[in-house]
Structure 1
Amino acid sequence: MRIKKLLAATATAVAALWLAAAPVAHADQLDDIMKAKKIRIAVAMGIPLFAFVDKEVKATGSDVETARLIAKDMGVELELVEITNAARVPTIQTRKADLLIATLAITPERKKVVDFTIPYATLDIIVAGTEGNAIKGYDDLNGKKIGLTRATVNDSMVTKGAKGAEVVRFEDDATLITAAVSGQLDVVSTQTAVLAAMNEKRPQSPLKVKFVQQELNLGIALPQGEDRLKEWVNTWIKTNFQNGKMNAIFATFHDRDLPQDLLTRQ
């Protein structure tokens, strides 16, 4: 009798351990979106051409209009979740948004914590400076003060490549632009769209591209494990790239076309 009780207790303990180790199930996000008839899409506001507020105090830009088209084609209401650059990955990790369309480059490090669609756009990140700054590469940044936006690929590359530079980090592109326009910075690491916004406000002393750090492929980010939602968005990107709608949105704001080989990039 004692042995039977012992075996029964052991079986119960093993079952409890198995249940504790089993992954916690969660509802399929695509189903949740369709049931709620609403999709939450995060955008990083204050990024010129991609996500900004126009003269009518309305959110717009290529990322914002892309989000609107996704919601329209899905047949659901759009809830724009406005965030900063630094909050992009955490917003998806904590599921505060269903998707993130916020100039987020597809990198191996980020793939460890969030999922990405195929690329939906590209951008060049650059180092720019005033006429008198002789800069051709990272070594020339040593001893110089350089401004950039926190938690970006720019930040990682400058931190790694220019260890002797004084790096000044800003929470978003809007504050970086303000610092450059007010004369606090003569050297910046940013993207071409942000540089254009800076120079528009400092025409007497424009910053010029010194070197291109990298061309980035941008992906729409989503929580890991949401394979059906990822498949839906990938199909949407392919369809709207081929029918020209995505390119029309991008060209309206950036005055250039998307790369023809965009869908083959990873």
Structure 2
Amino acid sequence: MRRNSSLALAALAVCLFGTGVSAARADVLDDISKAKEIRIATDLAIPPSGMMDASMKPIGSDVETAQLLAKDWGMKLDFVQTTGATRIPNLQTGKADIAISTLSVTPERAKVIDFSKPYAVLESVVGGRTDVPVHSIDDLKGRTVCVTRGTTQDVELTQISRDKGFQVARYDDDATDVTAAVSGQCDLIATSLTIVNQITKKTPDRPFEKKVVLHVFDLAIGVKKGEPQLLARLNEWIAVNLKNGKLNAIYKKYHGNDLPPQMR
């Protein structure tokens, strides 16, 4: 009788969960290892992290980071072009294996994707022309601030805009966002300090400057939830390339300064 009960329970377990072989799910690291190809979501319209050169070849700090990763892992690199708003959906839907795209680590994002160890940093600021008298969040009252949809700046300023009495104008990508700010559609732009500096280089007759520091974020590689093997291998790769100086060299080449000492 006990034997029959045991057999019945075993049969039920097979029906519910399958055998050990069929229940095992191939993870993303297995998939990319077999394909010898890795699909990396990268925004190619956010200089100097991601952009196109005169010959329409991808360049930038995130681009070179992705290229270094693919080279070290012996894989073909397939860039999945993305925007700030589509980086996480690309991971969740399986369109991209990982995201290397100025993806700052936040508690909200950590609920829906996993993050690697930081490989770079991003200083999030409100910037504007030098003649715009803004020195604090309170000075934003009555003004319009440009943001790229889906970014940390969008989330943060949307939460405080009503209390502080300013408007948030959203654009689908950084290029459009910057154009709106430079053309005067907005009084200010909330973005990275690097982009604010890039605006000044391109429009020296109307220079922009940092007005308010919002946050200094760690930038990490985004991974779909439930991929521990892939995450562990990425963390190992980041640790090696921070120690040997390769990630710092990439960052300094495009951003003009070293990574924080504690990262290096």
Residue type at the aligned position of 1:215: V
Aligned residue pair count: 254
What percent of counterpart residues are identical?
43
TM-score, normalisation: structure 2: 0.89
Conserved 8 A contact 2:41-2:99: yes
Residue type at the aligned position of 2:250: I
Distance 1:16 1:45 in 2: 47
Conserved 8 A contact 1:127-1:190: yes
Distance 2:17 2:52 in 1: 49
Q: CA deviation at 1:186?
A: 2.6
Q: CA deviation at 1:75?
A: 0.6
Q: CA deviation at 1:48?
A: 1.0
Structure 2 residue 88 is matched with structure 1 residue 89: yes
Q: What is the match of residue 192 of structure 1?
A: 193
Q: What is the match of residue 252 of structure 1?
A: 253
Residue type at the aligned position of 1:165: F
Distance 1:14 1:34 in 2: 35
Conserved 8 A contact 1:121-1:218: yes
CA separation of 1:184/1:219 partners in 2, compared to 1, >3 Å: closer, same or farther? same
Distance 1:124 1:198 in 2: 15
Q: What is the match of residue 73 of structure 2?
A: 74
CA separation of 1:120/1:12 partners in 2, compared to 1, >3 Å: closer, same or farther? closer
Q: CA deviation at 1:196?
A: 1.9
Distance 2:160 2:98 in 1: 32
Conserved 8 A contact 1:115-1:224: yes
Q: What is the match of residue 117 of structure 1?
A: 116
Distance 2:25 2:50 in 1: 31
Distance 2:14 2:188 in 1: 60
Query: Which secondary structure state, in structure 2, belongs to the residue aligned with residue 71 of structure 1?
Result: helix
Q: What is the match of residue 3 of structure 1?
A: none
Query: Which secondary structure state, in structure 2, belongs to the residue aligned with residue 129 of structure 1?
Result: strand
Equivalences for residues 124-135 of structure 1 within 5 A: 124-135=123-134
Q: CA RMSD in A?
A: 2.3
Q: CA deviation at 1:138?
A: 1.9
Q: What is the match of residue 225 of structure 1?
A: 226
Residue type at the aligned position of 2:263: L
CA separation of 1:25/1:150 partners in 2, compared to 1, >3 Å: closer, same or farther? farther
Q: CA deviation at 1:137?
A: 2.1
Query: Which secondary structure state, in structure 1, belongs to the residue aligned with residue 86 of structure 2?
Result: helix
Residue type at the aligned position of 2:107: P
Q: What is the match of residue 139 of structure 1?
A: 138
Q: CA deviation at 1:192?
A: 1.2
Conserved 8 A contact 1:43-1:51: yes
Q: CA deviation at 1:94?
A: 1.0
Q: Deviations over 1:141-181 (max 9, x none)?
A: 12111111111111111112232211110111111111122
Residue type at the aligned position of 1:177: V
Equivalences for residues 174-193 of structure 1 within 5 A: 174-193=175-194
Residue type at the aligned position of 1:205: R
Residue type at the aligned position of 1:122: V
Distance 1:146 1:28 in 2: 42
Q: Deviations over 1:80-116 (max 9, x none)?
A: 1111111011111111111100001111111111110
TM-score, normalisation: structure 1: 0.88
Structure 2 residue 206 is matched with structure 1 residue 169: no
Q: CA deviation at 1:259?
A: 1.1
Residue type at the aligned position of 1:101: I
Query: Which secondary structure state, in structure 1, belongs to the residue aligned with residue 108 of structure 2?
Result: helix
Conserved 8 A contact 2:197-2:209: no
Equivalences for residues 1-150 of structure 1 within 5 A: 18-19=16-17, 25-150=24-149
Q: What is the match of residue 211 of structure 1?
A: 212
Query: Which secondary structure state, in structure 1, belongs to the residue aligned with residue 123 of structure 2?
Result: strand
Q: Deviations over 1:179-226 (max 9, x none)?
A: 122232231111112112222232222122111110010110011111
Residue type at the aligned position of 1:176: D
Q: Deviations over 1:222-244 (max 9, x none)?
A: 11111111111100000011011
Residue type at the aligned position of 1:228: Q
- Structure 1 residues without counterparts, runs of 5 or longer: 1-6
